[in-house]
Structure 1
Amino acid sequence: MAEFAYNNAVHSSTGKTPFKALYGWEPTLTPSNVPTDVPEADELAQTMEAQWKEVELALQQAKQRMTAGESGSPTEFKIGEEAWLDAKNVNLKTLSPKLTEQRLGPFKVTKKISDRAYRLELPPKMRIHNVFYVGLLSKVKRDNKCAFENRPPPVTVDGEEEYEVEGITNAEERDGKWFF
Structure 2
Amino acid sequence: MSHIFIRHIVSNHGWPKELVTDRDKLFSSRFWQAFMNKLGVKHKMSTAYHARTDGQIERMNQVLEAYLRAYVNYEQDNWSELLPTAQMSYNSLKTETTKVTPFFANFGYEMSSRRGWDSESFVPRAHIRAERLTEMHQTLRDELTFVRDRMSRYYDCTRSTAPIFKRGDKVYLLRRNIKTKRPSDKLDYKKLGPFKVLEKVGTSNYRLELPKGMRQWPTFHSSLLEPAPKNARIDNKVETWNEGDEFMAEGIMDSKIEDEKSSTMSNGKVTDTKAIHGNHQNTCSTSRKRLKTGIARTLTDRSRQLLQRTRR
TM-score bracket for this pair, using the shorter chain length = 0.3 to 0.5
Relative CO higher for 1 or 2, CA cutoff 8 Å, sep ≥ 6? 1
TM-score (normalizing by structure 2): 0.27
Q: Which structure shows the higher helix fraction?
A: 2
Which protein has the larger Cα radius of gyration, Structure 1 or Structure 2? 2
TM-score (normalizing by structure 1): 0.44
Q: Which structure shows the higher strand fraction?
A: 1
